Chains A and B, each alone.
Chain A
Amino acid sequence: MNVQFKKGVLELCVLVLVNQKDQYGYELAQNISKRIEVADGSLYPLLRRLTKEELVTTYLRESTEGPPRKYYRITSKGKAYMEELIVEWLKFSEGVNMLIKEAAV
C-alpha cells in the first residue's frame, strides 16, 4: 500500500493505542506492526510531533530489565483529536467500501 497513505493512518493508530493504555515506543511499534506493515522507525518522529503538539505526554518508568522506559500517555486534547480522526476515518473508509461494492455489481 502507498507509504504516505499509511503514515497518515499511523497517527490515528498511535492515538487509539495509547488511549487504551500508556505504552512505550517499542511496545507501540510491536502492537502496530502486528496489524499493519509500516517502517517502525517513522513511529518515533511521529511520537515527537504528537508530544510537541501536546496530544500525548511522556514519563519515564523503571523496568525490571534494562534502562527506564519512556512511556506515552494521551492528553485530553489528544483524546478530542483522536475522536475527530475516528469519525473522519469511519466516514472515509465506509465511502471507499461503498464505492468498491457499487463498482463490483
Chain B
Amino acid sequence: MTKKQFISELGNFIKKLPEGERKEIIYDYEEHFEMGMAEGKTEHEIANELGSPKTLAREILAQYHLSQAQSDKSMHNMMKALLAIVSLSFFNIVFLLMPIIVILVVYAVLCIASFAIATSGIGVLSPVFLEDISFMERLFMAMALTGFGVFMCIVMIYIGKFLYRMILNYARFNVRIVKGERS
C-alpha cells in the first residue's frame, strides 16, 4: 500500500469525524510517512508497520464517539458509542450489549407501567368500572392513581438520567477491558 492509498483509505473510514479532528489525525500519519521515508524506508514498509487503516479507523471512531457521549449527552450519541465499541471486537457484543439490553427493557417496562398508572386515573372516573362505588370514592381513587403515576414518571426520569451515566461508565470500563487496561 502506498502513502496515498493509506491516507485516502483512512480518511474515507473516518470521514464522519469533524473536519478539524480528521485533519489532525491525518496529519499525524502523513508526518509518520515523511519521517520514515527520510530514513530510507519505502512507503510500502511504513504502511505495513502502521497496520490496517480499517482497524485504526475503528479504534479512532470508538474513541471519538465515546468522548462525544460524555460531553454531549443524548441517547443517539450513546448508541453510536456503543456500536463503535462493539465493532472493535465480537467479544463485546455479548459482554457489553446483553446487560445493557436487559436493563433498558426493564426500564422501558417500568416507564410504560408508570404512564399507564397515571392515565388509569381517568379510566376510573368512568362509571363502566366498579359500578357499586360512589362518585366521591371514584374521584379519590382517580386522584390517588394519577398522583402515584405522575410521581412514578418523575422518578423514572431521574432513573433515566442515572442509567445514562451508568451505561457511559460501563462503556468506558469495557473499552479499558478491551485494551487490556485496568480501570
Interface residues on B, range: 20 to 34
Q: Which residues of B contact A69 (CB under 8 A)?
A: 31
What residues of A have a CB within 8 angstroms of the CB of B38 in the complex? 65-66
Residues of chain B in range 143-183 having any CB-CB distance to chain A below 8 Å: 176, 178-182
* Dominant secondary structure at the B interface: helix
Q: Which residue of B56, B67, B89, B176 contacts A42 across the interface (Cβ within 8 Å)?
A: B56
Identify B180's interface contact among A8, A45, A67, CB under 8 A: A8
**In the bound complex, how far is the Cα of B34 from the Cα of A5, in angstroms?**
29
| Candidate in B35, B53, B56 with the most chain A CB atoms within 10 angstroms | B35
Report the separation of the CA atoms of residues A33 and B176 in the bound assembly, to the nearest whole angstrom. Answer: 22
How distant is B76 from chain A, measured CB to nearest CB, in Å? Answer: 22
Distance A33 CA – B51 CA, assembled complex (angstroms):
13
Measured CA separation A4–B50 after assembly (Å): 16
B59 within 8 A of A: yes
0/1 per residue, B27-46, Cβ < 8 Å to A?
01101101110100000000
Q: Is B63 an interface residue (CB 8 A)?
A: yes
CA distance A33 to B67 in the complex (A): 29
- Kindly report which residue of chain A lies nearest to residue B59, judged by CB atoms: A45
Evaluate whether A41 and B63 lie within 8 angstroms (CB atoms) in the complex, with A4-B180, A7-B180 already known. Answer: no
- CB of B122 within 8 A of chain A? no
Give me 8 A-to-B residue pairs in the complex whose CB atoms sit less than 8 angstroms apart, sorted by A's number: A39-B51, A39-B52, A40-B32, A41-B50, A41-B52, A42-B55, A42-B59, A45-B63
Whether B104 is near chain A, meaning CB under 8 Å from some CB there, is no
Q: How far is the CA of A33 from the CA of B49 in the complex (A)?
A: 9
Count, A-B residue pairs, CB within 8 A:
73
B56: A residues at CB distance < 8 A: 39, 41-42, 44-45
A77 contacts the other chain (CB 8 A): no
Q: Cβ of A26 < 8 Å from any Cβ of B?
A: yes
Interfacial residues, chain B to chain A (CB-CB below 8 A): 24-25, 28-29, 31-32, 34-36, 38, 49-53, 55-56, 59-60, 63, 67, 89, 176, 178-182
State the CA gap A40–B32 with chains docked (Å). 9
Q: Mark A31-57, 1 if CB is under 8 A from B, else 0.
A: 001000001111011011100100000
A 1-18 contacts with B by CB, 8 A:
2, 4-9, 11
Q: Across the interface, which residues of A come within 8 angstroms of B181, CB to CB?
A: 8, 11
- Among B36, B63, B179, chain A packs the most CB atoms within 10 A around the CB of B179
Complex contacts, B176 vs chain A, CB 8 Å = 8
Q: A41-B51, A42-B56 are in contact. Are A26 and B32 (CB under 8 A)?
A: yes
List of B residues within 8 angstroms of A7 by Cβ: 179-180
